C-alpha cells in the first residue's frame, strides 16, 4: 500500500495526501458513534485529481470512501483501511446566475456558504438543516438530504439540475445540464443522488435557486393533539396557497431535554404543553410582503387569522408569533439543536423514519407502547418534520446493549411498515440502517440495486460495506 | 414462435392475445411515420399476467415492446416481430385519496380519466398535453412526459411517488411508496421513469395530486420580441408569487398553419403579429380567487395590471384576456393542435429540444439561418413551452430525402448544444433520436447507461433498438 500512497502523492502533491495523526479528523464521524483507521486521506483540488485518485485505487482494488462535510448520521463515511476521498478543497462556487436562478458549485462547498452566495443575489437555496455550517454539497447530494423546507421545496434531488460524477475507474461523466427539461436517455443523475457514494463520486453540481421570500411569519403553536396540528397545517396551506415553509413537531419530552442541555434558554410558553409545532410561512408575492398601515405584512396577518380562528375553536391552545428576527432565530435554535440534544446521553438509538402524514400520531402511540415493553425505562426523544411525515425517533435506552438497540430499531420499523411508511426517510442507510435494508427492502428492488452496483462498480471499491446488506 | 403464442394464450386467455388483423392498431404509431408487423399483441389484465408474459418471453429470448396509449412522437413503440405488451386493459384507478393528495393508478389509465377523477375531489393531476384523451400512465411515465404545466408543477417524474415495475425476467419490483421522503437505497423509481420501457414495464404508480386552482386568468398576448415575452413572464411570476401555469409561444408561421388546417377558426388578433404567447395564471389561495365588487378575481386583476403596465411601456403590443371558459378553451385549442398542424404536410422533420430560457430567441435565429442554407424552401413550424426553454422545432422540407432530414436534425442540434441545450427535451429518444444519442450524448454517460441496461435486461428483450444507439 505504500506504493499506492506514493503514487497518490505523485498525483496530488505533498499536502494532497494525509496519513497518521493528520488523518484524525477523517477517522470518526461527528456523533462519535463510529471510529476507524483509514489508509490515508486524499484531498484533490480538481475533478482531474479525483479521476486520478480513482484510477489508481481502481487499479489497486483499493476501497475509497468519499467524504465532504462528514456530518452524516448513519455512519456513511466510516472507512477502516480505506482511502478517504475528502472533497473539502474543491470548494469553489463557480457561478451564481440570478437570471437563470441557478448556481454551479463544487462538491466541497459548505451549505451555508451557498446560502450566503444565493442571498447576496436576492435568491435562496432552500435546503437547510442544523448542520448547514459544516455540511457540503457532495454529502447532501450523496445522501439526498431532507431538512426543514422539504414541505415547500422538495428533497435535495428536486433542487439539482445537473451533476458531474467520477466513476469507480476514474472516468468522468458530465451530466451538468442547466435545463428543466432534458429527456436524453436513462436518468443517471437521480441514480447517483442518494447513492451515498456507492456508484460514483459527485464532484460538481448545477443547483436550482428560488426567490427568497420577502417576509416570513413564524410561530410556536401549542395544540391539543397531532390531528389538530395537521388541521392547522391544512388551514394554513389553503389560506396561503401553499406557502408553508416548515411545520416542525416538538413534543414536551423534547423541549424538556432541550432545556436540560441548554439551561440558559427560555421555554416557548409559560405552560408546559404536550404538543407544540414550529410553523413558518414565507411570502413570495409582493402582495404578501407589503406592510399595511399598522406595519403588518399580509403573510403574518394570514397566519394570525388562522391561529385566531383555531384558538376560538379549541384546536389551538396557545401561540406566539415571532415579532422580530431575534425571536424567529430563538424558535429555530430550539429545533435545530435536535442532533446535539439527542447526543447528550449515550447510548442513543437513532431512527429516522417516515409515515403518511395522518399516521404520525398512531405511529408514536404504537412505537411508544412497543418501547415500553422492550425497555420500560427507555426515553424516546422525538422531533418530526410533521409536514413530511418524517419522524426522528431517537431513544435513550436504559443500558448499552447492542441486542436491545437492534430490537428497538426493529420494533420501530414494524410499526412504521405496518402504517405504509419507510424505514429510512432522510438520513440514508450508511452502516446504521444496513440491517434494516436486509430486513425490509423489497427483495426484487434489492436484487436490482445489486445488479446496478455491480455494473457501475464491478470491483466494489466505492464506499464498500455501506447501503447494501452484506 | 407459435409455441410461445400458445403459451401466452394459455396464460392470458383467448382475448388476451391478438394476431393478424386484430393487431393492426398496434402496428403503427399515431403519426403514421412508423409502421411494423408485430409477432402478436398481448393484453394483460393484472400485474401477475404482465409477469407471466415477461417470464415466457424472457425464457424464449423474445423481444417485448410495452405500449399504452401509443401517442408518442419518437417511434418508441415500434416493434417489428415483437410481442406488443398493451397496458390498455390495466385501466383501474385504484384509489384517489384527497386527504393524502394522491392517486393509485394502473398503467392503462388514460390521462383525461385521471384528470376527471382528481377533479371530482377538488384536486388536479397537473400533467397535461394535447394527447391527454388517449395517452396513458405507462406511456407518460415511461417517457417522463412534459407538456404545458411543467413550469409550475414539474415533469412527470416530479409527480410520481411510487411505481410498480415488472423486470425483464418477470420479477415484480414493488416501489409503491406513498411517501414524500424515502431514502432507502438506490433510487430505482427515477431510473425506470423515462427509460422508455427498456429497463422494465411500469404496471402501476402512486401519483401526486395538487389543489385545483380556484380560478384561472388566461390571455393571448402579442409582444415585440421573445425578450419582451421573457420580461412579461418574469413580471408575472413576481406579481403572483410564481403562479404562472403556462407560457406558450406561438409565432405567426404557426398561427397561419393552424388557420390553414382549421379554416373555420378565428385568428387571435385582428392584426397578424409575429410573436404571440398564451399565458395562464392559476389562483391557489382563496384571496386570489375571490371576486371583487366588479366580479373580477384578483389573479385576473394581477394579470391585467402587468399587461397594462407593459403595454404602456411598449413591451406588450396587444392582449386579449379570456372572459369565460369558452374563450379560454379556444385559446388552448389553438396551441394543443400543434401535433395535428405539423402533420398536415409530409415529410415533416420533428425535433424536440431545450435551451436555456434566455437563449430561445438566438437559437431560433441561428437554426433558421442554418435551415435556409440547407433547404431554402423549407418551412419551420415552431411552438415552444417558452417557460421551460422547450422548443418544438418541426420543419417541412421541400423534398422527401432522408439525408436532408438528418442534416436538418443535426444542424438544429449543433445550435442547441452550442447554447448549452439538450437535443431531447420531453418527447424522449425512441427511434427518432437514436442518431442524436450516438452523436451527442456524453460518452461516459452512454457507457454507464449500457452497463445499467445490461445489468437489468441482460438478454436485451425489453424494447430493443430504442434509446440506446446501435
pLDDT tens-place string over residues A325-347: 999 999 999 999 999 999 999 99
Model confidence at A1: pLDDT above 90: no
Of A178, A184, A239, the CB nearest to B420: A178
Residue B59 lies in a domain: yes
Percent of chain B residues past pLDDT 70, beyond the cut: 100
Q: Is the same domain home to B206 and B224?
A: no
Residue A447 lies in a domain: no
Kindly report which listed range (A283-297, A377-391, B90-104) carries the lowest average pLDDT score.
A283-297
For residues A105 and A191, the answer to whether their CB atoms sit within 8 Å is no
Give residue A353's Cα distance to chain centre: 12
In chain A, how many domains are there? 4
Q: Half-sphere exposure (CA, 13 Å, Cβ side) for B50?
A: 30
Closest-CA distance, B260 to chain A, in angstroms, reads 31
Rounded Cα–Cα distance for residues B360 and B380 (Å): 15
Compute φ and ψ for A48, nearest 5 degrees.
-60, -40
Nearest to B467 by CA among B72, B152, B147: B72
- Same domain for B307 and B355, yes or no, is no
pLDDT of residue B296: 85
- Residue that terminates a domain, selected from B292, B320, B338: B338
| Residue whose C-alpha is closest to residue A32's, from A350, A352, A437, A463 | A350
**Residue B262 class from Cβ within 10 Å (0-12 exposed, 13-18 middle, 19+ buried)?**
middle
* CATH (domain of A245): 3.30.70.2190
Which CA distances in Å does A93 have to A43, A67, A113, B119?
18, 18, 9, 44
Sign of the torsion formed by the C-alpha atoms of B284, B290, B295 and B299: negative
Question: How many Å apart are CA A177 and CA B389, to the nearest integer?
Answer: 13
pLDDT number for residue A121:
95
Cα B439 to Cα A458, B209, B410, B467: the distances in Å are 27, 38, 9, 13
Q: From the list B155, B175, B447, which residue is nearest A442 (CB)?
A: B175
Half-sphere exposure of A135 (CA within 13 A, CB side): 24
Q: Which of B273, B303, B338 is the last residue of a domain?
A: B338
Q: Give how far B363 is from chain A: nearest CA, Å.
A: 15
* Cα separation, B97 vs B118, whole angstroms: 9
Q: Are residues A104 and A142 in the same domain?
A: yes
| pLDDT in the model for residue B53 | 98
Predicted local confidence at residue B470, as pLDDT: 85
- Residue A259: count other Cβ atoms within 10 Å of its Cβ: 15
Contacts (Cβ under 8 Å, ≥6 apart) of B222: B269, B271, B273, B275, B276, B316, B317, B318, B319
Say what the pLDDT of residue B454 is.
98
* CATH classification of the domain holding B198: 3.30.465.10
Percent of chain B with pLDDT over 90: 93
pLDDT at A192 over 80: yes
User: B173 and chain A: CB distance < 8 Å anywhere?
Assistant: yes
Q: In terms of CA atoms, which chain A residue is nearest residue B390?
A: A181
And the C-alpha cell for B134? 388517449
Rounded Cα distance, A29 and A432, in Å: 12
Residue with cell 414565507: A282
Average pLDDT, chain A: 96
**In this structure, is residue B441 part of a structural domain?**
no
Query: In chain A, what is the straight-line distance between the N-terminal and C-terminal CA atoms, in Å?
Result: 25
- pLDDT at position B1 over 80: no
What is the average per-residue pLDDT within A349-368?
A: 95
Question: Cell triple for residue A96?
Answer: 451564481
B438 domain residue, yes or no: no
Predicted local distance difference test score (pLDDT) of residue A14: 82
Decide: B306 and B239 in contact? Cβ < 8 Å.
Answer: yes
Average pLDDT of A153-182?
Answer: 97
For residue A147, being part of any structural domain is answered with yes
* Contact yes or no for B185 and A467 at CB 8 A: yes
Binning pLDDT at 50, 70 and 90, where does residue B318 land? very high
Chain centroid to Cα B272, Å, comes to 29
B449: chain A residues, CB-CB within 8 Å: 185-186, 188
Please give the Cα distance from B67 to A53 (Å, whole number).
45
Is residue B317 pLDDT above 90, yes or no?
yes
Question: pLDDT band for position A296 (50/70/90)?
Answer: confident
Closest C-alpha to A166, from A56, A269, A271 = A56
ipTM: 0.96
Put simply, the chain A residues between 202 and 241 with a CB less than 8 A from any chain B CB are 211, 237-241
> Are both B80 and B188 inside the same structural domain?
no
Cβ neighbours of residue A449 under 8 Å, at least 6 residues apart? A441, A468, B185, B186, B188
Q: Is residue A265 part of a domain?
A: yes
Q: Quick one: CA dihedral B264, B265, B270, B271, positive or negative?
A: negative
In whole angstroms, what is the distance from residue B195 CA to residue B173 CA? 16
User: Last residue of a domain, which of A211, A233, A268?
Assistant: A211
Contact B155 A181 (CB under 8 A): yes
- Which residues 6+ apart lie within 8 Å of B253 measured at CB? B379, B380, B381, B382
Please indicate, yes or no, whether residues A34 and A48 belong to a single structural domain of this protein.
yes
How far is A380 from A421, CA to CA, in rounded Å?
A: 19
The CA angle B123-B129-B132, to the nearest 5 degrees, is 75
Residue B32 pLDDT greater than 90, yes or no: no
Q: Which three cell numbers stand for residue A209?
A: 435557486
Specify whether A48 is located in the same domain as A17: yes
Q: Are A35 and A88 in contact (CB under 8 A)?
A: no
Residue B452 — very low, low, confident or very high, per pLDDT cuts 50/70/90?
very high
pLDDT band at B270 (very low <50, low <70, confident <90, very high): very high
Give the pLDDT mean for A370-395.
97
Does residue A141 lie within any of the structural domains? yes
Would you state the pLDDT for residue B282? 95
Q: How confident is the model at residue B372 (pLDDT cuts 50, 70, 90)?
A: very high
Residues in Cβ contact with B21 at an 8 Å cutoff, skipping those fewer than 6 apart: none
Vertex B443: Cα angle to B438 and B448 (nearest 5): 105
Residue appearing with cell numbers 437492534? A406
Quick check: A288 and B241 CB within 8 A? Answer: yes
Q: Whole domain around residue B363: which residue ranges? A: 345-432
On whether both A101 and A207 belong to a single domain, the answer is yes
Query: What residues 344-373 of chain A have any CB closer than 8 A to a CB of chain B?
Result: 354-358
| Percent of chain A residues past pLDDT 70, beyond the cut | 100
CA–CA distances in Å: residue B470 to residues B99, B438, B439 = 47, 8, 12
Helical pair A360-374 and A402-418, crossing angle rounded to 10 deg: 150
B130-171 pLDDT, tens digit each = 999 999 999 999 999 999 999 999 999 999 999 999 999 999
Q: How many CB atoms lie within 10 A of CB A6?
A: 11
Domain co-membership, A237 together with A281: yes
Do residue B328 and residue B351 come from a single domain? no
Q: Does A173 touch chain B (CB under 8 A)?
A: yes
- Check which CATH number belongs to the domain holding B72 and give it: 3.30.43.10
Relative to beta strand A201-208, strand A102-106 is: antiparallel
pLDDT at A284: 81
Same domain membership, residue B72 and residue B10: yes
Residue B95, φ and ψ in degrees, nearest 5: -155, 145
Please provide the average confidence, as pLDDT, over all residues in chain B: 96
Contact B238/A285, CB-based, under 8 Å? yes
- A292 pLDDT above the threshold of 90: no
Residue ranges of the alpha helices (H) in A197-285? 226-240, 252-261
Q: For residues A44-62, b (16+ Cβ closer than 10 Å) or e, as one string? A: bbebebbbbbbbbbbebeb
A282 touches B at CB < 8 Å:
no
User: Three-class SS of residue A306?
Assistant: helix
User: What number is the average pLDDT over the span B111-118?
Assistant: 98
CATH number of the domain enclosing B399 = 3.30.70.2740
Cell of A53: 485518485
Q: What is the dihedral of CA B220, B222, B227, B233, to 10 degrees?
A: -30
Of residues A258, A287, A283, the one with CA closest to residue A272 = A258
Quick: pLDDT tens for A131-159: 999 999 999 999 999 999 999 999 999 99
| Nearest by CB: B181 against A179, A191, A354 | A354
Task: Please report the pLDDT score of residue A173 as a whole number.
Answer: 98
* Element spanning B161, H or E: strand B160-166
> Which positions 437-466 of A are in contact with B (Cβ < 8 Å)?
437, 440-442, 444-449, 451-456
Instruction: Tell me, yes or no, whether B162 and B176 share the same domain.
Output: yes
A79 with A103, same domain: the answer is no
Which pLDDT does position B360 carry in this prediction?
96
Residue B467 domain flag: no
| pLDDT higher than threshold 90 for residue B205 | yes
CB A269 within 8 Å of CB A220: yes
Q: Which residues contact A340 (CB under 8 A, 6 or more apart)?
A: A261
Amino acid at each position: 500500500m505504500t506504493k499506492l500512497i506514493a503514487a497518490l502523492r505523485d498525483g496530488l502533491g505533498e499536502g494532497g495526501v494525509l496519513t497518521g495523526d493528520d488523518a484524525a479528523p477523517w477517522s470518526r464521524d461527528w456523533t462519535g458513534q463510529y471510529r476507524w483507521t483509514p489508509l490515508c486521506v486524499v484531498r484533490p483540488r480538481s475533478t482531474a485529481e479525483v479521476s486520478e485518485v480513482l484510477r489508481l485505487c481502481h487499479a489497486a482494488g483499493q476501497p475509497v470512501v468519499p467524504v465532504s462535510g462528514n456530518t452524516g448520521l448513519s455512519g456513511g463515511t466510516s472507512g477502516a483501511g480505506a482511502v478517504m476521498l475528502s472533497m473539502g478543497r474543491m470548494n469553489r462556487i463557480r457561478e451564481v446566475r440570478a437570471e437563470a436562478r441557478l448556481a454551479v458549485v463544487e462538491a466541497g462547498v459548505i451549505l451555508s456558504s451557498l446560502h450566503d452566495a444565493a442571498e447576496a443575489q436576492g435568491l435562496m437555496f432552500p435546503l437547510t438543516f442544523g448542520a448547514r455550517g459544516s455540511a457540503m454539497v457532495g454529502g447532501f447530494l450523496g445522501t439526498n438530504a431532507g431538512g426543514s423546507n422539504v414541505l415547500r421545496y422538495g428533497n435535495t434531488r428536486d433542487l439539482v439540475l445537473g451533476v458531474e460524477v467520477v466513476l469507480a475507474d476514474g472516468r468522468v461523466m458530465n451530466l451538468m445540464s442547466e435545463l428543466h427539461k432534458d429527456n436524453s436517455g436513462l436518468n443517471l443523475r437521480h441514480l447517483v443522488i442518494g447513492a451515498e457514494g456507492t456508484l460514483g463520486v459527485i464532484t460538481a453540481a448545477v443547483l436550482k435557486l428560488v426567490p427568497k421570500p420577502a417576509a416570513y411569519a413564524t410561530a410556536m403553536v401549542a395544540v391539543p393533539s397531532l390531528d389538530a396540528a395537521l388541521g392547522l397545517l391544512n388551514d394554513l396551506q389553503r389560506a396561503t396557497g401553499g406557502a408553508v415553509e416548515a411545520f416542525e413537531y416538538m413534543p414536551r419530552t423534547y423541549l424538556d431535554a432541550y432545556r436540560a442541555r441548554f439551561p440558559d434558554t427560555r421555554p416557548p410558553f409559560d405552560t408546559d404543553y404536550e404538543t407544540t409545532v414550529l410553523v413558518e410561512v414565507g411570502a413570495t408575492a409582493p402582495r404578501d410582503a407589503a406592510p399595511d398601515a399598522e406595519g403588518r405584512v399580509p403573510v403574518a396577518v394570514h397566519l394570525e387569522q388562522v391561529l385566531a380562528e383555531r384558538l376560538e375553536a379549541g384546536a389551538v391552545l396557545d401561540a406566539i408569533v415571532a415579532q422580530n428576527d431575534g425571536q424567529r432565530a430563538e424558535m429555530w435554535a430550539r429545533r435545530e439543536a435536535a442532533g446535539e440534544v439527542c447526543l447528550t446521553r449515550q447510548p442513543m438509538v437513532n431512527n429516522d423514519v417516515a409515515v403518511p402524514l395522518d399516521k404520525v400520531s398512531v405511529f408514536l402511540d404504537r412505537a411508544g407502547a412497543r418501547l415500553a415493553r422492550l425497555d420500560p425505562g427507555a426515553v424516546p426523544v422525538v422531533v418530526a418534520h410533521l409536514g413530511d411525515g418524517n419522524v426522528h425517533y431517537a431513544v435513550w435506552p436504559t443500558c448499552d446493549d447492542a441486542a436491545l438497540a437492534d430490537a428497538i430499531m426493529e420494533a420501530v420499523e414494524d410499526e412504521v411498515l405496518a402504517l405504509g411508511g419507510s424505514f429510512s426517510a432522510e438520513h440514508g442507510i450508511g452502516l446504521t440502517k444496513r440491517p434494516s435494508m436486509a430486513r425490509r427492502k423489497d427483495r426484487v428492488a434489492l436484487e436490482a440495486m445489486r445488479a446496478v452496483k455491480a455494473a457501475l462498480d464491478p470491483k466494489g471499491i466505492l464506499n464498500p460495506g455501506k447501503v447494501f446488506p452484506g
